[in-house]
């Protein structure tokens, strides 16, 4: 883990990487998927997984590369989708810079609420953790991969949106 | 033209077999009777045998007749099912959804049971019961269990029920080469709890007219050759099969042809069978989806979804099937969310006074004919002794007659 108060480069990297996670949350909340994809590297991969104690296996519920997730969000207007609003609350727990300081792993807790359009009732949709990998290139940090590991497995009607 | 209150309550100008009274979806009285007359007497899928791969593995199951079961693979590799209830003081025996244990131990007073349902341990047995009671009086309640039709563990609470094979009949014959040539394995499981009646989910699975709701299906199926030639076949006991089609996945931008299939099925093929009273085999492309239903109340249903591939899959093959499955069917899939949104909307409308649901499309039993639902409700009416269109005998239309029901059983 990066030591706060260590080298200035580390401190700045910690800030930038934390900001990368939080910026992504705000863009996803705003359904600005183009903006969110702009935070991702060309070799980005995205997955949602959970452990199933029912079948005692790790299960993958969504897995795409950048092209796949881009196509997914581009198709959204063509699908019938519940238009409830998702609000993500993330807290960055750990940031680990790799040896060369050009890549990093970030673990964040995430809680996702769903607010219905009709009446504005809010309910808890899911809890889990973002396991992110980031890469530094072109003078900025970008997401190389995100694995959302969900604790919540009862997801009601589900959703078409990346979380 | 919009209708006033009197017109809204009038029965549709159709035969009574072609619509249902919406109260069958909202009445607690109806659900209690469905549990007794249907779910407690028919075969239902509890789980898949791959969820119990080793001896002494167990898997819990909430039965739709409102019973809690535990399914166990015995020391003889035979899969059995029991009430998951201690016969002593009614405590739940197994709490975890799956695990492995040579003896099932009730934590309350540490009564223990073996994999065949025999009670094998009672603390201070003689001191408390003397010769009045013994382990032999505390065996678990066994439930009829058969494994088949793709390795699925079917259970039936009725000790006198017909054999599973007789209940299924020929409904799954067309799927058997895909189901039984090689062993299957569950790779995905999720449970959606939705504020809707269980029959509304089975209705959705029993008609394809709602393909208009699915952008994916419109592109890859409805606009493709052969779609409108798919035909329904009805089988005894309320089951129905829809004819096959080859899906053109590449018609949906960003999707590719599946590179895997199942034994006996063409590449990108699609086969689907609905089993009474709420199970669906949906074999599409490279994966098999199985739906099972547990009514939690008249207006709330737990829908369990399983995704399966072949047990011998390589890691690459399995990853491919998992990816294909999730693109349309996982909780984040393109189709499943839309289907669930549809039945949620029906559930909401029921709260606000819908009177009839129309199942009246007749198109020579082809894909948009609603014969699948009519066939289901023919069996439902026979088992319930109620007309689906007049379940409480207070509508102005005659109840479905035996002749009507015969006509539905094509």
Beta strands, E only, B157-265:
184-194, 232-235, 239-246
Do B156 and B201 lie in a common domain?
Answer: no
- For residue B184, the cross-strand partners are B310
Preferred mutation among B96, B196, B313, B337 to probe A, highest tally of A CBs within 10 A: B337
User: Could B254 and A68 be called an inter-chain contact, meaning their C-beta atoms sit closer than 8 Å?
Assistant: yes
Rounded to a whole number of angstroms, the distance from the CA of B317 to the nearest CA of chain A is 14
Residue B181 lies in a domain: no
Number of domains chain B is built from: 2
Q: Structure tokens of B131?
A: 């010769």
Average pLDDT over residues B124-143: 97
User: Could A62 and B330 be called an inter-chain contact, meaning their C-beta atoms sit closer than 8 Å?
Assistant: yes
pLDDT at B399: 45
User: Please, what is the angle between helix B371-384 and helix B198-205, to 10°?
Assistant: 140
Average pLDDT over residues B284-312: 98
pLDDT (tens digit, 9 = 90+) per residue, B191-217?
999 999 999 999 999 999 999 999 999
Do B132 and B243 lie in a common domain?
Answer: no
CATH of residue B108: 2.102.10.10
Q: Let me know how many helices (H) and strands (E) chain B has, helices first.
A: 11, 19
Q: Which residue has the tokens 């009672």?
A: B122
pLDDT at B405: 47
Binding-site residues on chain A for chain B (CB distance < 8 A): 48, 52-57, 59-63, 67-68, 71-72, 74-75, 78-82, 153-160
Average pLDDT over residues B160-188: 98
From B160, B175, B199, give the residue that closes a domain.
Answer: B160
Find chain B residues with C-beta within 8 A of A68's C-beta.
254
pTM beyond 0.90, yes or no: yes
Do B127 and B253 lie in a common domain?
Answer: no
Q: How far apart are CA B212 and CA B25, in angstroms?
A: 23
Do B151 and B272 lie in a common domain?
Answer: no
Helix (H) or strand (E) segment spanning residue A9: helix A8-29
Do B230 and B126 lie in a common domain?
Answer: no
pLDDT at A31: 97
Rounded to a whole number of angstroms, the distance from the CA of A84 to the nearest CA of chain B is 12
Residue B342 phi, psi (nearest 5): -65, -50
Instruction: Measure CB to CB from residue B331 to each of A52, A78, A155 and give the nearest one.
Output: A155
Sort strands B98-100 and B104-105 into parallel, antiparallel or unpaired: unpaired
pLDDT at B400: 47
User: Could B189 and A158 be called an inter-chain contact, meaning their C-beta atoms sit closer than 8 Å?
Assistant: no
pLDDT (tens digit, 9 = 90+) per residue, A85-95?
999 999 999 99
Do B24 and B48 lie in a common domain?
Answer: no
Residue B167 lies in a domain: no
Instruction: Measure CB to CB from residue A158 to each of B98, B253, B340 and give the nearest one.
Output: B340
Q: Which residue has the tokens 């581009």?
A: A74
DSSP 8-state assignment for residue B85: B
The answer, yes or no, to whether residue B113 has pLDDT greater than 50, is yes
Residues 6+ apart with CB under 8 A from B314: none
Find chain B residues with C-beta within 8 A of A155's C-beta.
190, 192, 331
Do B383 and B243 lie in a common domain?
Answer: yes
Do B29 and B83 lie in a common domain?
Answer: no
Task: Given the cut 0.95, state whether the ipTM is greater than it.
Answer: no
Q: How far apart are CA B88 and CA B328, in angstroms?
A: 46
Pick from B178, B405, B387, B384: nearest CA to B272:
B178
* C-alpha B220: how far from chain center: 26
Beta strands, E only, A53-121:
57-65, 85-97, 103-115
Rounded to a whole number of angstroms, the distance from the CA of A65 to the nearest CA of chain B is 11
Preferred mutation among B321, B331, B344 to probe A, highest tally of A CBs within 10 A: B331
User: Could A156 and B192 be called an inter-chain contact, meaning their C-beta atoms sit closer than 8 Å?
Assistant: yes
Residue B56 lies in a domain: yes
B203, B205, B206, B209: CA torsion to nearest 10: 90
Do B81 and B227 lie in a common domain?
Answer: no
pLDDT at B353: 75
Do B201 and B349 lie in a common domain?
Answer: yes
Do B156 and B193 lie in a common domain?
Answer: no
Domain enclosing residue B19, as ranges: 13-40+187-408
User: Could A157 and B51 be called an inter-chain contact, meaning their C-beta atoms sit closer than 8 Å?
Assistant: no
User: Could A82 and B322 be called an inter-chain contact, meaning their C-beta atoms sit closer than 8 Å?
Assistant: no
Instruction: Measure CB to CB from residue A53 to each of B98, B186, B190 and give the nearest one.
Output: B98
Sort strands B184-194 and B232-235 into parallel, antiparallel or unpaired: unpaired
Instruction: Measure CB to CB from residue A158 to each of B187, B214, B337 and give the nearest one.
Output: B337
pLDDT (tens digit, 9 = 90+) per residue, A19-46?
999 999 999 999 999 999 999 999 999 9
pLDDT at B397: 52
The answer, yes or no, to whether residue B9 has pLDDT greater than 90, is no
Find chain B residues with C-beta within 8 A of A153's C-beta.
190-191
pLDDT at A6: 54
User: Could B194 and A157 be called an inter-chain contact, meaning their C-beta atoms sit closer than 8 Å?
Assistant: yes
User: Could A61 and B331 be called an inter-chain contact, meaning their C-beta atoms sit closer than 8 Å?
Assistant: yes
Residue B352 half-sphere exposure toward CB, CA atoms < 13 A: 5
The arrangement of secondary structure in A8-150, i.e. its CATH architecture, is Roll (3.10)
Using DSSP's 3-state secondary structure scheme, residue B15 falls into coil
- Range in A26-40, B76-90, B346-360 with the lowest mean pLDDT: B346-360
Rounded to a whole number of angstroms, the distance from the CA of B253 to the nearest CA of chain A is 8
- For residue A52, the cross-strand partners are A57
Mean of the per-residue pLDDT values for chain B?
Answer: 94
pLDDT at A89: 98
Average pLDDT over residues B239-258: 93
Residue B237 lies in a domain: yes
Query: Between B397 and A81, where is the model more confident?
Result: A81
pLDDT at A23: 98
Q: How far apart are CA B272 and CA B175, in angstroms?
A: 8
pLDDT at B410: 41
Find chain B residues with C-beta within 8 A of A60's C-beta.
188, 322-323, 326
Beta strands, E only, B6-105:
19-21, 44-48, 57-63, 67-73, 79-83, 98-100, 104-105
Pick from B294, B296, B300: nearest CA to B197:
B300
The answer, yes or no, to whether residue B93 has pLDDT greater than 60, is yes
- Under 8 Å between Cβ of B175 and B184: no
Q: With helix as H, strand as E and coil as C, how does B138-173 read?
A: CCCCEEEEEEECCCEEEEECCCCCCCHHHHHCCCCH
Average pLDDT over residues A97-114: 95
The answer, yes or no, to whether residue A102 has pLDDT greater than 80, is yes
pLDDT band at B396 (very low <50, low <70, confident <90, very high): low
Do B152 and B242 lie in a common domain?
Answer: no
Find chain A residues with C-beta within 8 A of B213's C-beta.
80
Preceding amide of B309 cis, omega within 30: no
pLDDT band at A7 (very low <50, low <70, confident <90, very high): confident
pLDDT at B354: 77
User: Could A59 and B188 be called an inter-chain contact, meaning their C-beta atoms sit closer than 8 Å?
Assistant: yes
SS3 content of chain A, % helix, strand, coil (to 5): 25, 45, 30
């Amino acid at each position: 883990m990066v030591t706060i108060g260590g080298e200035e480069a580390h401190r700045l990297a910690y800030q930038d990487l934390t900001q990368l996670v939080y910026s992504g949350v705000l863009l996803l909340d705003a359904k600005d998927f183009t903006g969110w994809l702009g935070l991702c590297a060309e070799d980005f991969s995205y997955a949602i997984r959970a452990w199933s104690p029912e079948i005692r296996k790790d299960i993958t519920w969504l897995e795409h590369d950048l092209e796949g997730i881009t196509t997914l969000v581009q198709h959204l207007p063509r699908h019938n989708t519940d238009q409830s609003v998702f609000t993500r609350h993330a807290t960055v727990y750990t940031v680990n810079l790799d040896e060369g300081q050009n890549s990093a792993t970030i673990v964040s807790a995430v809680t996702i609420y769903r607010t219905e359009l009709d009446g504005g009732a809010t309910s808890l949709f899911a809890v889990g953790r973002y396991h992110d990998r980031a890469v530094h290139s072109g003078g900025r940090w970008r997401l190389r991969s995100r694995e959302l590991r969900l604790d919540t497995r009862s997801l009601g009607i589900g959703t078409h949106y990346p979380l | 033209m919009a209708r006033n209150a009197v017109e809204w309550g009038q029965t549709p100008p159709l035969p009574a077999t072609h619509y249902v009274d919406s109260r069958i979806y909202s009445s607690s009285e109806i659900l209690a009777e469905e549990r007794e007359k249907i779910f407690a007497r028919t075969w239902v899928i509890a789980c898949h045998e791959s969820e119990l791969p080793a001896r002494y593995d167990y898997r819990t199951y909430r039965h739709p007749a409102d019973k809690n079961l535990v399914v166990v693979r015995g020391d003889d590799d035979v899969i059995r099912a029991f009430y998951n209830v201690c016969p002593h003081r009614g405590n739940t025996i197994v709490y975890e959804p799956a695990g492995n244990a040579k003896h099932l131990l009730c934590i309350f007073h540490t009564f223990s049971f073996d994999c065949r349902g025999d009670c094998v341990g009672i603390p201070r047995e003689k001191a408390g019961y003397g010769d009045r009671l013994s382990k032999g009086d505390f065996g678990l309640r066994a439930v009829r269990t058969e494994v088949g039709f793709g390795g699925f563990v079917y259970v039936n609470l009725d000790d006198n029920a017909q054999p599973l094979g007789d209940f299924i009949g020929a409904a799954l014959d067309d799927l058997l080469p895909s189901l039984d040539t090689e062993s299957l394995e569950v790779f995905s499981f999720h449970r959606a709890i939705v504020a809707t009646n269980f029959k509304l989910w089975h209705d959705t699975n029993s008609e394809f007219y709602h393909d208009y709701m699915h952008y994916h299906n419109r592109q890859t199926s409805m606009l493709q050759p052969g779609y409108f030639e798919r035909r329904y076949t009805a089988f005894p006991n309320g089951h129905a099969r829809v004819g096959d089609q080859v899906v053109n996945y590449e018609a949906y931008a960003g999707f590719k042809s599946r590179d895997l299939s199942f034994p006996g099925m063409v590449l990108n093929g699609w086969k689907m069978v609905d089993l009474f009273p709420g199970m669906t085999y949906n074999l599409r492309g490279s994966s098999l989806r199985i739906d099972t239903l547990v009514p939690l109340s008249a207006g709330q249903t737990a829908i369990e979804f399983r995704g399966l591939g072949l047990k011998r899959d390589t890691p690459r093959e399995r990853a491919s099937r998992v990816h294909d499955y999730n693109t349309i069917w996982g909780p984040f899939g393109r189709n499943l969310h839309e289907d669930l949104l549809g039945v949620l909307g029906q559930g909401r409308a029921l709260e606000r006074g819908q009177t009839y649901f129309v199942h009246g499309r007749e198109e020579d039993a082809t894909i948009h004919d609603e014969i699948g639902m009519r066939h289901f409700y023919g069996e439902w009416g026979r088992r319930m002794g109620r007309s689906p269109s007049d379940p409480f005998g207070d509508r102005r239309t005659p109840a479905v007659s035996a002749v009507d029901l015969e006509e539905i059983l094509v």
